[in-house]
Chain A
Amino acid sequence: MKRALIILALVGACAATAIFWLGLRSDPGDVSMTSPLQAPVGISTEERGHYLVRVGDCMACHTRQGGADYAGGRVIPTPFGDFYSPNLTPDPETGLGLWSADDFWKAMHEGRSRDGSLLYPAFPYTNYTKLSRDDSDAMFAYLKTLPAVKQPRREHQLQFPYNYRFLLVGWRALFFRPGVYQPVGAQDAQWNRGAYLVQGLGHCSACHEARNALGAVQSRDNPAGGLVLNWYAPALSAPAEAGVQHWPKEDIVRLLRDGIAPGASTLGPMAEVVYESLQHASAEDLDAMATYLKSLEPSQPPPASGAVRVPAHAVDDMSKRGATIYADHCASCHGEAGEGAPPAAPALRGNRAVTMDSAVNPIRIVLFGGYAPGTAGNPRPFGMPPFGNTLSNQDVADVMTYTRSAWGNQGRPVSSAEVARNRQGPLW
């Protein structure tokens, strides 16, 4: 008995040591690795940094609506509470004015602040850890050139127990391994450049992969996309969702750069990513991302989750009512057989954005409408009208149940409770 207790205590001590070591160890990173992104000849470090900060879309989180660029203060709602982004301008009191390039590297590579405290992974250092030291330094050099804005940081409003920062030790031990991107030898430079952008700087997985109950990206166990900012970021590996393995490469580039491509367009948070970030990416980098995305191993559609099921006997009536609503409100643009009238109105027949298991996005689009981003490649987009005032939750459920199963579409029915749930929350 006594011996068992001693063994138990020893095991416990070992586990605790392992957790603290894994969670708190310092990792200088492989500084010999240089960026796989070839910068144009003659460009200054600051200019290169500006480009990287844009492609990394730091602005999305670090700029408040109507606020000064990169001065922070934007709220990022999550299931754990509201995060408020910090100020990246060089103000010494409220921004990065006192930081060195080493401090910045420690944040990007190790997820630690200047004072050593652990950063919440709402800041996607789990992706940025893949960045090379020269890219991190260039980004920091650019941020130093910004006008210093005095804007004090707002404290995060997190629920118990997530408000205890020290618990991140355990989270890091379980889910975070620092490490600069290591090129895959079997792939060419273009593919590796794309992987570096998608996995690292572009931090696509921060939205497009499911997170577990502790907020860690869990792509290995679950190929689903992620629910983020009230939208569903579809899985990039699943051809039934956002997989582009079967697309021509130029269409992938168009979607990323212009926000619209044959048979697809971006709305919600992805429209923001295109508008602020990807439309400014170089042709080479867009091509590299398309190359990498095309090469992803196709995954099965993710398991259905979270939907309120519709009883089988109700589906026929819903579809019938939905067909009438469709004829009254939708057919004039989307066509009587869902054939669409591109570019003004996409086809709904055979449209995976309509039929994918998660109905979150099409529900939000019917309720709140939306415009694709007004990019240089698509400066005057057409828009979808918001029907949230005209149609009841049941109307929306009916018309969606109809469109998801008409004309050969094979999507599950949508319940009014699911529509009601998606009326709530901020719009993005």
Chain B
Amino acid sequence: MLRKCRFAALLGLLMLGSAATAAAPDTMAQRMLACAACHGAEGRATGDGFYPRIAGKPAGYLYHQLINFREGRRLNAQMTYLLERQSNDYLREMAEYFAGLSLPHPPTQPTQADPARLQHGLQLVRQGDATRGIPACNDCHGEKMTGVMPDIPGLLGLPYDYLVAQFGAWRQGTRHGTAPDCMAAIVAKLTPEDIDAAASWLAAQPMPADPHPAPSLPKPLPTSCGSVTGAGAAQ
């Protein structure tokens, strides 16, 4: 008990000390506190379901998204407002900061989806649908679906609501990639049932033991993507 009290007193003294000096650390973590309000502490996401985790995503992908928000290719008034007057260099630094955070993932939420829907989702993710010209998600987002360095995002560890909202945004034209916008072309071929199934299956998967993006793709992309400029871009 006495030890506890001493510890509390010491902690109190330390806190007083820091309050008196009041010098904020000159770090990216301090600069990026504004992001934590929605994306969670250190960009780990919150339980909200709409704001995605940004920690550990590939730097090139994050950078392109920051640019897309700034230029109005992705529509979110809050994001655009925060980024509108920042230089490419600073946006790059933000992207690299969050990409470099390697933090544990929370456990996957149990799914409500029925087995048939999950089976349809698995099918689309792993094989796509050649008859409709839909490539497998795996072909671009990596065998483990944790993304591919430096430009392709992972699809695991994202909430169902966020995933469905992104498909919806491509359909409605409120989210665009750099032309040629490969995801817009793919989403145009998906039915609402496809989207629901794929998002249900993806959101139900646990993170693999190594959640980092793959360093490269084993084969070129099946379609050409303006947002993918690094290794693995389609020939």
Contact = CB atoms under 8 A, between A and B. Distances in A.
Q: Do A and B bind each other?
A: yes
Interface of A: 65-66, 271-272, 274-276, 333, 335-336, 339-341, 343-345, 368-371, 373-374, 379-390, 426-428
**Secondary structure of the A contact surface, majority rule:** loop
Nearest to B46: A389
Contact of A383 (B31, B71, B78): B31
A386 B72 contact: no
Interface size class of chain B, counting residues whose CB lies under 8 Å from the partner chain: 20 to 34
A335 B86 CA distance: 27
B87 A333 contact: no
29 contacts: A65-B80, A66-B71, A333-B33, A336-B19, A341-B22, A341-B24, A344-B26, A344-B30, A344-B31, A368-B78, A369-B37, A369-B82, A370-B34, A371-B83, A371-B85, A371-B86, A374-B86, A380-B31, A382-B24, A382-B30, A383-B34, A384-B34, A385-B35, A385-B37, A386-B38, A386-B78, A386-B82, A427-B80, A428-B81
Contacts of B22: 335, 339-341
Contacts of B35: 385
B129 interface: no
Contacts of A387: 37
Contacts of A371: 34, 82-83, 85-86
B33 A426 contact: no
A66 B72 CA distance: 6
Interface in B80-102: 80-87, 89-90, 93
Given A275-B85, A336-B19, A374-B86, A345 B24 contact: yes
A50 to B, nearest CB: 20
Nearest to B15: A336
Interface string B172-197: 00000000000000000000000000
A181 B21 CA distance: 51
B87 A374 contact: yes
A340 B73 CA distance: 36
Contacts of A335: 19, 22
Closest 9 CB pairs of A and B: A344-B24, A383-B34, A385-B37, A341-B24, A275-B85, A427-B81, A373-B85, A66-B72, A374-B86
